[in-house]
Amino acid sequence: MKTSPRRPLILKRRRLPLPIQNAPGETSGEEPKRPPAQQEPGQAQASKEAAESSSCKFPAGIKIINHPTMPNTQVVAVPNNANIQSIITALTAKGKESGSSGPNKFILISCGGAPTHPPGPQPQAQTSNDPKRTEVVTETLGPKPAARDVNLPRPPGALPGQRWESCGMWSARQRAGGEAAGCTLDNSLTNIQWLGKMSSDGLGSSSIKQEMEEKENRHLEQSQVEEPPGASTSWQDSASERPPYSYMAMIQFAINSTERKRMTLKDIYTWIEDHFPYFKHIAKPGWKNSIRHNLSLHDMFVRETSANGKVSFWTIHPSANRYLTLDQVFKQQQKRPNPELRRNVTIKTELPLGARRKMKPLLPRVSSYLVPIQFPVNQSLVLQPSVKVPLPLAASLMSSELARHSKRVRIAPKVLLAEEGVAPLPATGPVQEDRLLLGEGLSPLLPVQSIKEEEPQPGEETPPLGRPIKVESPPLEEWPSPCLSVKEESSHSWEGSSHSPTPRPKKSYSGLKSPARCVSEMLVIKRREGREMSRSRRKQHLLPPCLDEPELLFSEGPGASQRATELPLPAESSEPASQLGYSQEEGGPFKTPIKETLPISSTPSKSVLPVTPESWRLTPPAKGGGLDFSPVQPPQAAFGPLPDSLGPTDFSTTPLKSIPLFDSPRELLNSEPFDLTSDPFSTSSPSDMEVPKPHSPGPEVAGLSANRSLTEGLVLDTMNDSLSKILLDISFPGLEEDPLGPDSINWAQFIPELW
DNA sequence: CTATGTAAACAAC
DNA sequence: GTTGTTTACATAG
């Protein structure tokens, strides 16, 4: 009993349902309890699979060359319009055949075809947003392109969801910038069944629109969703042990196990009990309190109210959702011997109560990382089917120097914003970075994100805040949605008052979050009063912890560009849509705080981020590029403002510090060590650079050389069945100087299509 | 410090 | 009683 003296009274909370409604979303999906075992059938999958399998052949136009320095690694230039999925399938098969002795890692880069980056309109953002995440796609899978909308074409047979894809972790989602192309990519990527193994449930779904009747649907979802029974895991077996996952992770697993990616509290409890018997039989009843606490605490968990207002569903903010499922994580752990992970898994908690605390969260991170690739000069190999083009190869792209340049930047997950000048953020980990960058430094703009979301409704644009924020932020991807901190309540500045301390509802969005407006709302800041709370942790924004996944790195700063694209649609709104996952979190790497900047209090709570929640996702209007595969584009123009802010300077300070390198992917790429600092890339954003275009000198880009550009690519490791996104630094031939140096290669020579 | 886990006080239903 | 929020504290790293 402590009566805590301090405990302030709690004001009444009010929940407001936002007017928005997107109706659609809501279905209810969640699964009620887990269905027994259904899942399997994946019809949907089937279809996709079929496709996959069938396509084993490489489409024409693909060029494959051996990576000069990396053993068993080949670089595959894929035409934009090619079906990536097929290619991946084929490569996977090829890699498998080769076994460890042959090529088993493939770096895929898009080339030719469509230029990707149409700056303009990009539909979605793609992954870019975050580089880090590679996640999956989501829901919409296929349709993403325009489709996003409602009707997704889900495969007919398929249900909406189903697990077919999943791949969350590794899969990359991307949408390319181009529509068409994008589509292709998406699909493919999404599908990546090859990862099959990892499947779990996840993804799929698109949302759907309708769902009014929540209840009804539930079953469906459920059925689809859950994880395969078997998959689950070991803990199941040992019921008595506490699972090595944090509550936050388990909640994510639970929510992501549904098709709609939303679940009621009760269902979350049930899911956890069903999957982790420990909670059913051994844990103290207080665990449920902890679940609730986590839901309320983390911004990534967003409460949505059903249309009728009667049912509250917990969802994961799309931008923060990696769509991880228990199954995926479990598999990943198995695959990767990461010591830690494993450790966790095995941990036994015998300790009496107190002791057990040690579990650490294990969510895998899905992101991609940026890696410089070097091409060797000669080795070309082409494989492939139809076209074999021998490439002359040349030198490596990045010379070592380059390589080092690349740094990764992480984006912060949490965004906070300060609206008005406040900027307080704590600087904590990851998040900060971004924030800092943006926010603080720039103070002004934060990312507000873009509102683009689906709803086009305009209107809101800038909130009252005064600053126009539209842009998004920052640099990179912050996806972090988490930002949400804002949540509605406050947000309303427009709406109402801004900050009154009164009641602030958290995040729940009633209708779904529809984005658009929400955004605005979100913007608000929450900051609480001033100092008071320094300590409390209000909601945290952030992401789930991931495991070791690779992170994405982006060098870029302007992330805006990148990120922007990510989402496909603005329209979508509802569901989970796309999202990317991000990783932010912590990760290890990340963690570093950037405290430097931070001013004051660290407590997160207070700070507010302007960001809108959704913003993260869509943001970038302009952006076009898709990252996906496509070259990153230069956004420059698009966001004019950003650049400034973001500018190199900011970056420079930022992020990088923390991490030296990539995590996981090291395998593949091991490139040299990167330095953070030096790289031009980093500073400038890659995005800016980029691309293919002949150089137009991007204005900002400055940093880098004109020649270079970054392209997003994927790394397929057939040994691990992993697919990760990477950023490639490539230089252009023609330009004058190459920063890279003599070494650098011109890819264009090899793969003309790249440019 | 940060991230997590717990416990608990309250509020709104 | 359930669901949500928010504090406060404890602890591992």
- A296 CB contact with strand C at below 7 Å: yes
Side-chain-facing half-sphere of A340: CA atoms under 13 Å = 15
Q: What percent of chain A has pLDDT over 70?
A: 14
Block residue for tokens 């900002």: A700
Q: Locate the DSSP E strands across A627-742.
A: 709-717, 722-730
- Per-residue pLDDT tens digits for A22-69: 333 333 333 333 333 333 333 333 333 333 333 344 556 677 777 655
> Which DSSP symbol is given to A571?
T
Cα(A122)–Cα(A114) distance, integer angstroms: 13
* Residue nearest C8 (alpha carbon to C1'): A4
- A317 CB contact with strand C at below 7 Å: no
- A699 CB contact with strand C at below 7 Å: no
Q: Is there a contact between A136 and A687 (Cβ–Cβ < 8 Å)?
A: no
How many other C-beta atoms are found inside a 10 Å radius of the C-beta of residue A188? 29
A42-CA/C8-C1' distance, Å = 47
Q: Is there a contact between A576 and A316 (Cβ–Cβ < 8 Å)?
A: yes
- Per-residue pLDDT tens digits for A277-290: 888 888 888 999 99
Q: Is there a contact between A722 and A364 (Cβ–Cβ < 8 Å)?
A: no
Query: Residue A745, by phi and psi: left (phi above 0), alpha (psi -120 to 50) or beta?
Result: beta
What is the identity of the amino acid at A735? L
A505: nearest Cα among A478, A538, A477, A551:
A538
What is the identity of the amino acid at A546? C
Q: Write down the pLDDT at residue A310.
A: 81
* Residue nearest C11 (alpha carbon to C1'): A357
Angle between helices A247-256 and A286-297 (to 10 degrees): 80
CA–CA distance from A340 to each of A351, A359, A697, A753 (Å)? 19, 11, 45, 42
Average of per-residue pLDDT values in chain A: 45
Q: Rounded to 5 degrees, what are φ and ψ at A556?
A: -70, 150
How many other C-beta atoms are found inside a 10 Å radius of the C-beta of residue A736? 10
Cα(A739)–Cα(A680) distance, integer angstroms: 9
Cα-trace Rg, chain A: 23
Give the CA angle between residues A270, A274, A275 to the nearest 5°.
120
**CB proximity list for A183: less than 8 A, separation 6 or greater:** A142, A143, A144, A145, A175, A176
CA–CA distance from A581 to each of A129, A367, A429 (Å)? 9, 7, 17
**Is A230 buried (19+), middle (13-18) or exposed (0-12) by CB count in 10 A?**
exposed
CA–CA distance from A479 to each of A205, A428, A439, A643, A661 (Å)? 21, 16, 14, 18, 20
Q: In 3-state terms, what secondary structure has residue A259?
A: coil
Q: Is there a contact between A729 and A681 (Cβ–Cβ < 8 Å)?
A: yes
Q: Is there a contact between A176 and A126 (Cβ–Cβ < 8 Å)?
A: yes
Going from N- to C-terminal start, the domains of chain A cover: 57-111, 239-334
- Per-residue pLDDT tens digits for A369-415: 222 233 333 333 333 333 333 333 333 333 333 333 333 333 233 33
Give, as ranges, the nucleotides of chain C with any atom within 7 Å of a protein CB.
2-9, 11-13
pLDDT above 60 (res A656): no
pLDDT above 80 (res A561): no
Please compute the mean of the pLDDT values over residues A549-568 and round it to a whole number.
33
Q: Is there a contact between A399 and A375 (Cβ–Cβ < 8 Å)?
A: no
A488: nearest Cα among A9, A10, A12, A14:
A14
Cα(A745)–Cα(A404) distance, integer angstroms: 16
Q: Write down the pLDDT at residue A610.
A: 38
Beta bridge partners of A105: A73, A717
Give, as ranges, the nucleotides of chain B with any atom within 7 Å of a protein CB.
1-13
Give the CA angle between residues A129, A474, A427 to the nearest 5°.
110
- A295 CB contact with strand C at below 7 Å: yes
Cα(A288)–Cα(A119) distance, integer angstroms: 47
Please compute the mean of the pLDDT values over residues A7-16 and round it to a whole number.
36
Residue A318: band (very low, low, confident or very high) from pLDDT cuts 50, 70, 90: confident
A437: nearest Cα among A423, A449, A455, A454:
A423
A539-CA/C9-C1' distance, Å = 17
* Residue nearest B5 (alpha carbon to C1'): A357
Q: Write down the pLDDT at residue A295.
A: 93
How many other C-beta atoms are found inside a 10 Å radius of the C-beta of residue A292? 16
pLDDT above 90 (res A635): no
CATH number of A239-334: 1.10.10.10
pLDDT above 60 (res A509): no
Top pLDDT among A732 and A444 is at: A732
Cα(A168)–Cα(A173) distance, integer angstroms: 9
Please compute the mean of the pLDDT values over residues A650-670 and round it to a whole number.
33
Give the nearest nucleotide to A265, CA to C1'. Answer: C3
Please compute the mean of the pLDDT values over residues A507-532 and round it to a whole number.
38
CA–CA distance from A60 to each of A29, A312, A365 (Å)? 42, 50, 33
**Is A26 buried (19+), middle (13-18) or exposed (0-12) by CB count in 10 A?**
buried
* Residue nearest B1 (alpha carbon to C1'): A428
A32-CA/B12-C1' distance, Å = 24
Q: Which long-range contacts (CB under 8 A, 24 or more apart) does A354-358 make?
A: A356/A242
Cα(A26)–Cα(A207) distance, integer angstroms: 9
Q: Is there a contact between A727 and A665 (Cβ–Cβ < 8 Å)?
A: no
Q: Write down the pLDDT at residue A542.
A: 44
Q: Write down the pLDDT at residue A80.
A: 67
Three-state SS sequence of A24-53? HHCCCCCCCCCCCCCCCCCHHHHHHHHHHH
Cα(A124)–Cα(A316) distance, integer angstroms: 20
- Per-residue pLDDT tens digits for A146-195: 323 333 233 333 333 333 233 333 223 333 232 222 222 222 222 222 22
Tokens representing residue A445 in the block? 């703009």
Q: Is there a contact between A483 and A415 (Cβ–Cβ < 8 Å)?
A: yes
- A98 CB contact with strand C at below 7 Å: no
A584: nearest Cα among A493, A668, A512, A482:
A482
* Number of residues that this document lists for chain A: 755
Top pLDDT among A510 and A250 is at: A250
Cα(A729)–Cα(A716) distance, integer angstroms: 18
CA–CA distance from A302 to each of A313, A327, A539 (Å)? 8, 23, 11
pLDDT above 50 (res A366): no
CA–CA distance from A593 to each of A422, A435, A611, A648 (Å)? 19, 11, 20, 19
Q: Rounded to 5 degrees, what are φ and ψ at A133?
A: -90, 135
Q: Which of residues 357-416 of A touch strand C (CB under 7 A)?
A: 357-358
Block residue for tokens 């991931």: A546
Q: In 3-state terms, what secondary structure has residue A540?
A: strand
